[in-house]
Amino acid sequence: MTTHSLPLPSQTLTVAAVVVAGLQAGTYFTWATGVMPGLARTDDRTFVATMQQVNVAIVNPVFIATFLAAPVLAGAVAAVGGAPARTWAIAATALAVGTVLITVAGNVPLNDALAAAGAVDRIQDLAAVRSDFESRWVVLNACRALTSAGALACLGAAVLRMRG
């Protein structure tokens, strides 16, 4: 099966899946390689205040749509992509679901605990709050960077299989 023989809706779906997977992978990669290393160089007050604000800002329709769409679109590619691509699209789906699970089970509870610590001006021990959050969040985000990049790579392999 070649990409040209796929119906236009399937081609559009496949392109959307790759783009969304790329956006997700890029988000976590950027945080892992630039944002968190940069914040690691800041004082406790700046770190906690920044992460509290980012954790509020990230809950927006654009991020949530891509976050939830990544596994759904990968799964849809598995359904319509044909036998040569299916295994790769299933792997992409599993990795994208893994990204969601890491986020929901790991990063979100840490974000919630950081918010529950209260306003930066009222936190008694900023160093302890930061310590409870930072290292675990960084590791979990690195895992998300790997799973989301893996999903993107698997979708790329699926596209190549669709092309023959």
Indicate the length of the chain as a whole number: 164
Tokens at residue 34, please? Answer: 């630039």
Q: Using CA atoms, how far apart are residues 45 and 134, in angstroms rounded to an integer?
A: 13
The tens digit of pLDDT for each residue in 136-149 reads 999 999 999 999 99
Q: Using CA atoms, how far apart are residues 44 and 74, in angstroms rounded to an integer?
A: 39
Comparing CA positions, the residue from 17, 35, 51 lying closest to residue 155 is 17
Phi, psi angles (nearest 5°) of residue 43: -75, 165
Positive or negative: CA dihedral 32, 140, 105, 47: negative
pLDDT of residue 143: 98
The domain ranges of the chain are 3-162
Cα atoms found within 13 Å of the Cα of residue 158, Cβ hemisphere only: 34
Tokens at residue 25, please? Answer: 């992978």
Model pTM score:
0.92
The tens digit of pLDDT for each residue in 40-77 reads 999 999 999 999 999 999 999 999 999 999 999 999 99
Is pLDDT above 50 for 2? no
